[in-house]
Chain A
Amino acid sequence: MATEIQGMGHSVKRKEDPRFIQGKGNYVDDVKLPGMLYLDIVRSPYAHAKIKKIDTSKATAIPGVLAVVTGEMLKQYNLHWMPTLMSDTQMVLPVEKVMYQSQEVAGVIATDRYIAADGAAAVEVEYEPLPVVVDPKKALELGAPILRTDKKDKKDNLIFHWEVGNKAATETAFKEADVTVKQDMYLPRIHVCSIETCGCVASFDKISGKLTVWMTTQAPHAIRTVFALVAGHVGLSEQKIQIISPDIGGGFGGKVPVYPGYVIAVAASVLIGKPVKWIEDRMENIQADSFARDYHITAEIAAKKDGTMQALRIKTIADHGYADAAANPSKFPAGLFSIATGSYDFKTAFAEVDGVYTNKPPGGIAYRCSFRVTEAVHTIERMVDVLAHDLKMDPAELRMKNFIPANKFPYKSALGWEYDSGNYEAALQKAKVIIGYDALRKEQAEKRKKGELMGIGISSFTEIVGAGPSHTFDILGIKMFDSCEIRIHPTGKAVARFGTKSQGQGHETTYAQIVAEELGIPVDDIQVEEGDTDTAPYGLGTYASRSTPTAGAAGAMASRKIRDKAKKIAAYLLECSEADLVWERGKFYVQGAPQKAKTIQEIAFAAYTNHPQGMEAGLEAVSYYDPPNLTFPFGSYICVVDIDRGTGEVKVRRFVAVDDCGNIINPMIVEGQIHGGLTMGLAPALYEAINYDEEGNIQGGSFMDYLLPTAVETPKWETDKTCTPSPHHPLGAKGVGESATVGAPPAIVNAVVDALAHLGVRHIDIPMTPWKVWQILKEKGVAAER
């Protein structure tokens, strides 16, 4: 055979790239339909205000403006509110009041995007400002204004109280401990800011009653079901809804929720009977789409004098904005925050989270991480360093002392998870060797004598990804399996369709490699398709590093089903018993007679032309894979920073990342995922934050104020790996897209704190901007005079 199979472990050049490098990608804003109209959205300047009047007359008088959609209009169809993925409710368009700055107030439909913008500027809205609550701690105080007045009987701003672990045992452990440490930390609001913003083209055909929506979504099937559930009463039923997720310009969690703009575009298309395009601009994207983090954390560790960690206790206030619009599995209001015991062998632990309403945009979604895992990892990796600081121990040594030993896997954590596999010592040891840890400590001591500020930071994280087993994981009741359907054509070529949706992860390549590995069909002969609900099998989508653990596994399982049938056909063709056949990648041969063989291509042809009587023709299979457990990728990162005493600027000199994601499908793609993840870890550690002033005005609402790292700030990442396969995944793989985003921030913070530790600095909240660091330098009397 001329073409190489290129299965697992090959750095296959990406199959999707030729279209992207030639400007032929097909993103939502590239979709152009005849007669298409444009939606632009009027947004609230107030964070909390009654709507007294909306005057649309000047807008509708503009030639080309066809309609202005308001909450009152949607109310007639009971579409002014919609459910969130956390079974809370959020407004599509307001009728009574607005709850955050930049909230959608009305939608203007026009023949051209410029005219739609003119129309939006001409809608006049009269507001009566109401008291604004931006601090979740104040929101919980007695006498705070109740924000969700739409919920009758709601007497406070608490959304949920969630706890996990053994409270009593943890209290006892703290009472009896030699040493306890406690630290408050705040992980600010940040925004994923995929370079493509969100948008859709909604096209309703009045004759057939079919609604087609091209949409920036990471989970097209789930969206279809949500649309059917929300709009079933107005006649949209699921078989007449087609969601197409075309090429997606980055997702990172921000394209999981349903935003009001999508719903307004759909409603407008249904009302007018023409396609309606909505593309948000960057400021709308940052100011109104779901945010990540916003966790106010207090953490404590109880330990023995020698540093042996005994117990962990965490209390968190989670600011969810005006609605709980996170995208967590239903049973996990704080996501997988209970991974907070991390890589360490704690005897007992207890964590509690209070979700709170404030006058901010709704959310609580991921920022390239699996359901609040970054928050958990930041907490534990910071706390280990706080303990090391107080005990005057080396942070690497303290970690080594407390790691879950490699021989204790599968390991049951104090907060209830069963870790599948791990070898934490090996990863940290490797990272130490690569970066030259001991030499760096010597250099640091020398530099300190000269007054120079240099720090070394470690993060030995454990992730929890691949949601998930259906007995525990669902979103709005839909179990979190994922799927693959493979059809082998008569000429031996294949099409494989998946329930997930790539946003840059390279599924067209890696999934093809999985099928190639399992069936021996060359990667080039396998067409991978995703994102069209009319053709792909039902799946929950791509987020939380779940594609390889779930849909990737489904690809392997569907391939194995095909192989089972192929074996029967091969036995028939070779006139032998199935038991006598041996599989070698790409063919079956008769044991002891390797020349008597049938290739998968020959078998495929026979499946349509010469299949055994009594057997159904064709060669295809579907798998809905329900993972038996989650996977637990891990790694150890070491970062070296130098701090400019004149400006407070933190420079990352070196960053070594040793990752372990089990067996690797495409090393080139995995490395690329880690590079990107590390950069999205650097970003919140040093630059990104969205704050609000007391009136609820967003600070950081555009790329002028919300700083994404450029190539200049981003260090030259150094990556390496260890390999501890997952024992339960069919390919031994674990998922990797988010590990680095999760693991990197505490390594950077630990390095900066380490650089200042001798001055008595024990903790710094992110982002560690030059201004913040400079103030510390000034306070400690070490800022350089220029």
Chain B
Amino acid sequence: MNHRIQMTVNGVKNEADVQPRMLLVHFVREVLNLTGTHIGCDTTNCGACTIVLNGRAVKSCTVLAVQADGGDVLTVEGLAKNGTLHPIQEGFWEKHGLQCGFCTPGMMMSAYTLLKNNSHPSEEEIRWGISGNLCRCTGYVNIVKAIRYAAEKIATEKK
């Protein structure tokens, strides 16, 4: 039995029939073809699949698509606006906050939520804020710098 669901993803309304067991991450990647969101584990540890659902960062491998029915979703593809990079994206590029790039989208979505809730996080708060996201390449030092860069940029833009 398929279920009809509706979801706004990156500002675009979508409607689809899905199996009740379909994971949100598969819905995003395979039904909507937004492959920027990745899958890195099966136990909700790695955070590569992190997206923002109704304002909260969630691991989309542990949410069923039907649970997100009626929801508002932001993925990495929705960060840049009109060809301008989001300050988080800019920070990751500027501060060498990525290497293989696989954890990066999930990491940026966690950072996005962190900065929404805490516009001036300390280093420790940043580290805890991304502690649900594993990165195997960077050793996190430059990711922390990237998020700091973004926080400062956002603060300057608001002035």
Q: Do chains A and B touch in the complex (CB under 8 A)?
A: yes
Binding site for B on A (CB under 8 A): 13-14, 16-25, 27, 29-30, 32, 113-114, 192-197, 247-250, 252, 279, 281-283, 503-506, 668-669, 671-680, 702-704, 708, 710-712, 714, 716-717
Name, among A29, A281, A714, the residue most crowded by chain B CB atoms within 10 Å (CB to CB): A714
Contact across chains for A195 and B128 when beta carbons are under 8 A apart: no
- Contact check, A676 vs B137: say whether CB atoms are below 8 A apart: yes
Measured CB to CB, the nearest residue on chain A to B132 is A710
What residue in chain A is nearest B78 (Cβ atoms)? A23
Nearest CB of A to B124, in Å = 9
Chain B 112-148 per-residue mask, 1 if CB under 8 angstroms from chain A, else 0: 0000000000010011101111111111111110000
Whether the pair A676, B136 counts as a contact (CB closer than 8 A) is yes
* A197→B99 CA distance, assembly (Å): 16
Question: Which chain A residue has the least Cβ–Cβ distance from B101?
Answer: A20
Given A17-B93, A195-B100, A703-B46 in contact, is the A22-B36 Cβ separation under 8 Å?
yes
- Within the complex, which residue of A32, A196, A283 is in contact with B40, where a contact is CB–CB below 8 Å? A196
B 56-92 contacts with A by CB, 8 A: 75-77, 79-80, 85, 89, 92
| Contact among B42, B75, B101, B126 for A25, CB-based, below 8 A | B101
A716→B144 CA distance, assembly (Å): 10
The answer to whether A23 and B77 have CB atoms under 8 Å apart is yes
**New contact pairs (17) apart from A23-B75, A250-B100, CB-CB < 8 Å:** A21-B85, A21-B98, A22-B76, A22-B89, A23-B34, A23-B76, A30-B29, A196-B40, A250-B102, A252-B136, A279-B39, A504-B101, A504-B137, A674-B139, A679-B140, A711-B127, A711-B133
13 A-B residue contacts at CB 8 Å? A21-B104, A23-B37, A196-B38, A283-B42, A504-B99, A504-B100, A669-B96, A675-B139, A680-B136, A702-B45, A703-B45, A711-B144, A712-B127
Which residue of A14, A197, A703, A710 contacts B93 across the interface (Cβ within 8 Å)? A14
Closest chain-B Cβ to A700's Cβ sits at a distance in Å of 12
The answer to whether residues A25 and B36 also contact, given A17-B98, A702-B43, A703-B45 and a CB cut-off of 8 A, is yes
Q: Is the CB of B36 within 8 A of A717?
A: no
Docked complex Cα distance between A711 and B94 (Å): 20
Contacts of B24 in A (CB 8 A): none
Please report B residues at the A interface, Cβ cutoff 8 Å.
19, 21-22, 26, 29-30, 33-43, 45-46, 48, 75-77, 79-80, 85, 89, 92-94, 96, 98-105, 108, 123, 126-128, 130-144
- B79 nearest CB across to chain A (Å): 7
Interchain CA distance A247-B101 in the complex, whole Å: 9
Q: Which residues of A contact B126 (CB under 8 A)?
A: 711
Contact residues in A for B101 (Cβ distance below 8 Å): 16-17, 19-21, 25, 247, 249, 504
Contact across chains for A18 and B36 when beta carbons are under 8 A apart = no
State whether B98 touches A22 (Cβ < 8 A).
Answer: no
- The complex places the Cα of A731 from the Cα of B130 at a distance, in Å, of 38
Chain B contacts for A24, CB-based, 8 A: 36
Question: What's the least CB distance linking B95 to chain A, in Å?
Answer: 9
- The residue in chain A whose Cβ has the minimal distance to the Cβ of B44 is A703
Query: What distance in Å separates the Cβ of A26 from its nearest Cβ neighbour in chain B?
Result: 8
- Smallest CB separation, A219 vs chain B (Å): 16
Nearest residue, chain A, Cβ from B105: A23
A503→B126 CA distance, assembly (Å):
26
Query: Given that A23-B76, A710-B131 are known contacts, is A194 also in contact with B99, CB under 8 Å in the complex?
Result: no
Closest to A117 in B: B21
B100 CB → nearest A CB, Å: 3
B94 touches A195 (CB 8 A): no
On chain A, the residues within 8 Å of B94 by CB distance are 13
Which of the residues B21, B77, B96 comes within 8 Å of A22, measured between beta carbons? B77
The answer on a CB contact under 8 Å between B36 and A712 is: no
Rounded to whole angstroms, the CA-CA distance of A506 and B92 in the bound complex is: 14
Within the complex, the shortest CB–CB distance from A710 to chain B, in Å, comes to 5
Q: Do B104 and A20 touch (CB < 8 A)?
A: yes
Cβ-neighbour of B99 out of A283, A676, A712, A716 (below 8 A): A676
CB contacts (< 8 Å) of A283 on chain B: these are: 42-43
In the complex with contacts A195-B48, A703-B45, A676-B40 CB distance below 8 A? no
Identify the closest chain A residue to B135 (Cβ).
A195
Contacting residues, chain B, for A197 (C-beta < 8 A): 40
Closest to B48 in A: A195
In the complex the two chains form, what is the Cα distance from A196 to B41 in whole Å? 9
**Distance A536 CA – B136 CA, assembled complex (angstroms):** 28
Residue A672 contacts which of B21, B34, B99, B133 (CB distance < 8 angstroms)? B99
Q: How far is the CB of B142 from chain A (nearest CB, A)?
A: 6
- Bound form: Cα–Cα A345–B139 in Å: 33
Return B30 CB to nearest CB of chain A, in Å: 8
Residue contact B105 to A114, C-beta cutoff 8 Å: no
* A-B pairs with lowest CB-CB distance, top 5: A23-B36, A249-B102, A504-B100, A20-B101, A675-B139
A22 to B84, CA, bound (A): 11
Task: Determine the distance from Cα of A710 to Cα of B131 in the docked complex, in whole angstroms.
Answer: 5
**CB of B104 to closest CB in A, whole Å:** 5
User: B136–A708 contact, CB under 8 A?
Assistant: yes
Contacts of B100 in A (CB 8 A): 194-196, 247-250, 503-504
B76 to chain A, nearest CB (A): 4
Pair B139/A702 contact, Cβ less than 8 Å: no
**Contacts of A503 on B, CB cut-off 8 Å?**
100
Alpha-carbon gap, A22 to B105, bound state (A) = 8
A506 to B46, CA, bound (A): 23
CA distance A675 to B126 in the complex (A): 17
CB-based nearest A residue for B138: A676
> In the complex the two chains form, what is the Cα distance from A716 to B21 in whole Å?
41
Collect the chain A residues with CB atoms within 8 Å of residue B92's CB. Answer: 17, 21
Chain B proximity of A653: nearest CB distance (Å): 15
In angstroms, Cα B103 to Cα A247, docked, is 13
Tell me how far the C-beta of B21 lies from the nearest C-beta in chain A, rounded to whole angstroms.
7
* Most-contacted residue by chain A among B85, B134, B140 (CB, 10 A): B140
Residue among A14, A194, A195, A675 facing the most chain B CB atoms (10 A cut-off): A195
Q: Chain B residues with Cβ under 8 A from A282's Cβ? A: 40-43, 46
A164 → chain B closest CB, angstroms: 33
Complex CA–CA separation, A196 to B21 (angstroms): 23
Least Cβ–Cβ distance between A249 and chain B, in angstroms: 3
Q: Are B99 and A711 in contact (CB under 8 A)?
A: no
- Which residues from A are CB-within-8-Å of B127? 710-712, 714
**In the bound complex, CA of A30 to CA of B35 (Å):** 6
Q: List, in ascending order, chain B residues with CB within 8 A of A504's CB.
A: 99-101, 137
Q: Please report the C-alpha to C-alpha distance between residue A114 and residue B108 in the assembled complex, in whole angstroms.
A: 29
Across the interface, A711 reaches (CB within 8 A) one of B46, B136, B137, B140, namely B140
Knowing A14-B96, A114-B22, A282-B42, say if A678 contacts B104 (CB, 8 Å): no
Instruction: Write the chain B residue with the least CB distance to A669.
Output: B96
A195–B102 contact, CB under 8 A?
A: yes
Complex contacts, B138 vs chain A, CB 8 Å? 672, 675-676, 679
Q: CB distance B131 to A711 under 8 Å? A: yes
Please determine whether B99 and A22 come into contact, CB atoms closer than 8 angstroms. Answer: no
A14: B residues at CB distance < 8 A: 93, 96
Distance in Å from the Cβ of A98 to the closest Cβ of chain B? 22
- Which chain A residues border B134 with CB–CB below 8 Å? 195, 703, 708, 710
Max chain A C-beta neighbours (<10 A), residue from B96, B135, B139, B141? B139
Determine if B96 and A668 form an interchain contact, defined as CB atoms under 8 angstroms apart.
yes
The CB with the most chain A CB atoms within 10 A, among B33, B75, B127, B137, is that of: B137
- A250 and B137: CB pair below 8 A? yes
How far does the alpha carbon of A555 sit from the alpha carbon of B97 in the complex, in Å?
A: 27
Q: In the docked arrangement, what's the CA distance between A366 and B75, Å? A: 35
The reply to whether A679 and B139 contact each other, CB–CB distance below 8 Å, is: yes
